[in-house]
Structure 1
Amino acid sequence: MMRIAALTWHRDGDEPLEFEGKSQDLSSSYRTRVADCILLADYTKSHEFLIETLVLHLFGEYSSVRDSNSSAWVLLATIIRLAMRMGYHRDPDRLPSLSPFQAEMRRRVWIFIWQADIFFSFQQGFPPMVKIESLDKILPRNIYDESFGPHCVELPAPLSDSEPTQISYLICKAQLALGLARALKELNREDTPPPYEKVLEIDRSIREAYSKAPDHLRLRSMADQQHDPMSLIYARFALVSIHHRALCVVHSRFLEAARMDTRFCNSRRACLESAMALLSLQAIQHQEFRAEGQTRSLTRYVNSLITHDYLLAATILCTELSLDRGRDPFPFPVTGPTKAEMIKSLDQSAAIWSSMRDESIEAYKASDVLGMLLKKLRYPNDSMQEAQSRIYPAPPSMHLPEAGVMTNLTQMYPGAAINAGTMALPPPQQYVPRDLLSIGYGSTLSMLPGFSVSNAQHSNQQDPSPTWQQFAAPIDFSDPVSTLWALDPGRKG
């Protein structure tokens, strides 16, 4: 906990006077001492508070760097095995030896571990280590921390989901993570991809999960939340990012199929709208606003998992724009962002990552690759050397959204208007506030298995069967920017 405190001081620029300029060194020292204690206690054996200590150690490892860190994922694998051996994944009510307090704390610890498995594995390009089928369907109770303790005989009754408690964010995040996990499981099956009706069913469950998020955890305009704690504002951003990440994963494979069959146009629209929404979130996170006489910013709260969402969004837009190169326009009316709007979002994204290239390796790579791809999109007839020699456009000025500007974004998908008869997604809505600059960061296309439709299937009114030959490469998230390189037609080797 002392290491996390030191990291927080450094991140927020709020070091105590006695530790001014020393917080990073302190966190490094605490990290070494924690590792020594874990080894000395022999972490392979069951000890009280062992899992909790390892979870805090994991959080410190993850929070200490901005780039994706495979070592945190490896540490998480060890934590999962130890926790499952100690029965954390089972309903504590089945273990009479546990007190009500111990049972509830086990639920909280396990749900954190399970979510970390989903998000870290997704980032690294692997399926979750914990199978959904092996889980007891348990969530912590939505109760205040002050309402129970080590000596309580019985837990208080759970409050409504709308009650803002210290645990409500973790509960809501778990429900959204479950939707993402189910989508990844169904869409990345090794035998045959699911039929389109199943895709729509997954879409509906994802939208419904976010529509049930309590009001205090739903994103709003910065003017309406400028006096809220930064941790609460960050929580709102994290939840809406998970929602749009899941929708991008569900519908990204239909970008190409939508050019041949109108049934997939709504999937294309949903995918592009969610990608644009993610990029607008990135824009807001890199803006500053005034509150209580101080300048505040969410930039320090940006972590590798959230930047990976921006990476995903930028890759989707680059993929869509690359599909337009050398092709005839759509033979039927389509909705969604225009080419100019997508290029503008990617432009601003490259500007943001260019400003952060000295702070992050991934930002350095993404800014370079996005910049070159954007030049190729603007000047398709230029050679690579000519494109690189052009002056990169000056980054547009960034301004705060006015009050209410995020209202439509937070209610973009109020619920699922899907039914088996029409297989229709919700109607088009404004995917990005018009007066809000959208910015994004590139991601791996190999994580987004493609979808192609043959002529015979195109003429058939039944759901087409996808062919996967051209997308048979294994999923790889280890270097997300590598996919953006693949989208550059002028690159050799």
Structure 2
Amino acid sequence: MCVATLCQHSIDDPTDPEIQGRVRVFREQTLHSLILGQYTRGGEYVLETLINYLICESFMSQEDETGLWLVQGIIVQLALSQGYHRDPHNFPSITPFSGEMRRRVWAVIVQLDLRLSSQMALPCVLKAQQYDTVEPCNLLDIDFDEDTIDLPPSRPETEVTPVLYGLAKGRIDKMMGLVNDIVNDTKEHPYTEIMQLDRKLQEAEASLPPIFTWQPLSQSFMVAPEIVMHRVLLQLAIQRLTIWLHRKYLAPPYTQTCYQHSRKTCVQAAIKVLEFQQIVLEETQGDGLLYPTRWARWMLLSSRPRAVFLLGVSILCYYVQLTKSRPDVSLDESTGSKIHGLLRNAYPLWLHSTTVSREARRAIDYLSLRLGLQEQEIGVPLADSTADTPQDTDMSLDQFTWDAYEGKLPK
């Protein structure tokens, strides 16, 4: 509740020194509690407290990926030692209430492991075959308590509960684990396996609760802003996984038509990522549909979540560069204009963040030097605006190919 309250107070200005001070005090007191409680021995509420500590560290330390990943490793090992990886139905001594709460805690731990591991470009600590804990039920807190003898059946997914978004996100995150294993594997995987994962990702998207199915904003005026923002977050996760799956096939000769689906899918996913970035920027303004969820603007544009937007920028820039350096790659005027507009709109965001983010400085350097965005007029299509840019001819495609795949920019 303390973390939720601090987040609520930080809606208008998360960088407010007073808010930062409160988070710092809460983090320090949480750490003291863990040490005094000898957290390495496990016990009741230790995992929940560690998760709160991890959230505070994430709030305070925008650039410290390694530290967060190490803390998450501690959480995973403690959870395993306490049997959270086995479904409570295996243990008759665990009450229905405690069992359901354990499922909720485990679901959070699995999602944190998947997200932090993917951000570090490292394999997940947990593997699906290591646990059989099922996903939590779609229940309201009033549906059960400590005295419940039999857990009530899960509510239909047409009923929105505080758990429903976590269930939806968990289904996409499960796909993240499968995709992450492939992109981090040292051996090559056949293209048929990539396409099989692509189909599974589409099935995971289709399995989302109806309320979280993406609808254009023009059809969402009667939908709660929180629901719309959750749709955006889910779509960003889906498009990121789509790029991870297919980005490798941007580089091979385009005469190999067997990869045509992957090329088109990857570029379209990158376009969607930047379109969602524009939605967040515009609709969280004072008169926007998502203004009540303006906290998400800061969350999405902070260092770690912003990586998905950097990935979209790098893919589009790389694709445009291919069209200028290889005769077998073409870019039609309509797509070129759309890409140009999205990159132009993204430029001010990265420029604003250059004082606090190394990634933002790299993005600005790349967009400025490689595409000449500072000098070009907005109305000039990208396919034409980059044609006479001197820096384009100096670009090392071999080096940038792999950097782009990892969502990085050349130094």
1:244 equivalent in structure 2: 239
1:300 equivalent in structure 2: 298
Note if contact 2:85-2:133 (Cα within 8 Å) is conserved in structure 1. no
Residue type of the alignment partner of 2:106: W
How far the C-alpha of 1:132 sits from its partner, in A, is 2.0
How many pairs align?
391
Greater mean alpha carbon deviation, residues 243-252 or residues 345-354: 345-354
2:8 equivalent in structure 1: 8
Note if contact 2:362-2:410 (Cα within 8 Å) is conserved in structure 1. no
Note if contact 1:226-1:291 (Cα within 8 Å) is conserved in structure 2. no
Partners of 1:231 and 1:214 in 2: how far apart?
15
Note if contact 1:258-1:268 (Cα within 8 Å) is conserved in structure 2. no
Greater RCO structure (CA 8 Å; 6+ sep): 1
2:368 equivalent in structure 1: 371
Partners of 2:260 and 2:298 in 1: how far apart?
38
Which of 219, 227, 232 aligns to 2:227? It is 232
Partners of 1:12 and 1:65 in 2: how far apart?
19
With the length of structure 2 as denominator, give the TM-score of the two structures: 0.85
Q: Secondary structure at the match of 2:242?
A: helix
1:58–1:295 Cα change, 3 Å: closer
Note if contact 2:351-2:360 (Cα within 8 Å) is conserved in structure 1. yes
Q: State yes or no: 1:147 paired with 2:146.
A: no
Partners of 1:325 and 1:334 in 2: how far apart?
9
2:317 equivalent in structure 1: 318
1:40–1:363 Cα change, 3 Å: same
Note if contact 1:91-1:138 (Cα within 8 Å) is conserved in structure 2. yes
Q: State yes or no: 1:342 paired with 2:339.
A: yes
Note if contact 1:357-1:363 (Cα within 8 Å) is conserved in structure 2. yes
Note if contact 2:247-2:263 (Cα within 8 Å) is conserved in structure 1. yes
Partners of 2:67 and 2:123 in 1: how far apart?
17
Deviations 1:106-125 (A, max 9, x none): 11111111111111111111
Greater mean alpha carbon deviation, residues 345-354 or residues 368-377: 368-377
Partners of 1:242 and 1:9 in 2: how far apart?
27
For residues 63-462 of structure 1, the aligned pairs below 5 Å read 63-67=59-63, 69-136=65-132, 138-191=134-187, 193-222=188-217, 224-225=219-220, 229-257=224-252, 259-287=254-282, 288=285, 290=287, 297=294, 298-302=296-300, 303-330=302-329, 338-375=335-372, 378=385, 446=402
Partners of 1:94 and 1:25 in 2: how far apart?
44
Deviations 1:297-327 (A, max 9, x none): 4423324443111111111112212222332
Q: Secondary structure at the match of 1:290?
A: coil
Residue type of the alignment partner of 2:201: I
Ranges in structure 1 where 5+ consecutive residues have no aligned partner: 388-443, 450-476, 487-493
Q: Secondary structure at the match of 1:44?
A: helix
Partners of 1:201 and 1:382 in 2: how far apart?
40
Partners of 1:255 and 1:294 in 2: how far apart?
37
1:438 equivalent in structure 2: none
Q: Secondary structure at the match of 2:186?
A: coil
How far the C-alpha of 1:7 sits from its partner, in A, is 4.0
Greater mean alpha carbon deviation, residues 252-261 or residues 264-273: 252-261
Deviations 1:230-252 (A, max 9, x none): 54333221111111111111111
How far the C-alpha of 1:291 sits from its partner, in A, is 6.5
How far the C-alpha of 1:22 sits from its partner, in A, is 2.6
Deviations 1:276-297 (A, max 9, x none): 0011000111112526997874
Partners of 1:368 and 1:293 in 2: how far apart?
31
Deviations 1:423-475 (A, max 9, x none): xxxxxxxxxxxxxxxxxxxxx964776xxxxxxxxxxxxxxxxxxxxxxxxxx
Q: Secondary structure at the match of 2:92?
A: coil
1:293–1:367 Cα change, 3 Å: closer
Ranges in structure 2 where 5+ consecutive residues have no aligned partner: 374-381, 395-399
1:243–1:258 Cα change, 3 Å: farther
Deviations 1:201-259 (A, max 9, x none): 11011011111212222233445545755543332211111111111111111112361
Note if contact 1:275-1:314 (Cα within 8 Å) is conserved in structure 2. yes
Residue type of the alignment partner of 1:141: C
User: What is the Cα-based RMSD across aligned positions, in Å?
Assistant: 3.1
How far the C-alpha of 1:189 sits from its partner, in A, is 2.6
Partners of 2:386 and 2:271 in 1: how far apart?
23
1:119–1:66 Cα change, 3 Å: same
Q: Secondary structure at the match of 1:325?
A: helix
Note if contact 2:103-2:133 (Cα within 8 Å) is conserved in structure 1. no
With the length of structure 1 as denominator, give the TM-score of the two structures: 0.72
Note if contact 1:278-1:310 (Cα within 8 Å) is conserved in structure 2. yes
Residue type of the alignment partner of 1:357: T
1:206–1:147 Cα change, 3 Å: same
1:456 equivalent in structure 2: none
Residue type of the alignment partner of 1:251: H
Higher helix share: 2
Q: Secondary structure at the match of 2:287?
A: strand
How far the C-alpha of 1:88 sits from its partner, in A, is 1.0
1:447–1:238 Cα change, 3 Å: farther
Q: Secondary structure at the match of 2:135?
A: coil
Q: State yes or no: 1:62 paired with 2:58.
A: yes
Q: State yes or no: 1:484 paired with 2:409.
A: yes
For residues 15-54 of structure 1, the aligned pairs below 5 Å read 22-54=18-50
2:379 equivalent in structure 1: none
Q: Secondary structure at the match of 1:259?
A: coil
Q: Secondary structure at the match of 1:32?
A: helix
1:301–1:115 Cα change, 3 Å: same
Q: Secondary structure at the match of 2:208?
A: coil
Identity rate, percent: 24
Residue type of the alignment partner of 1:324: T
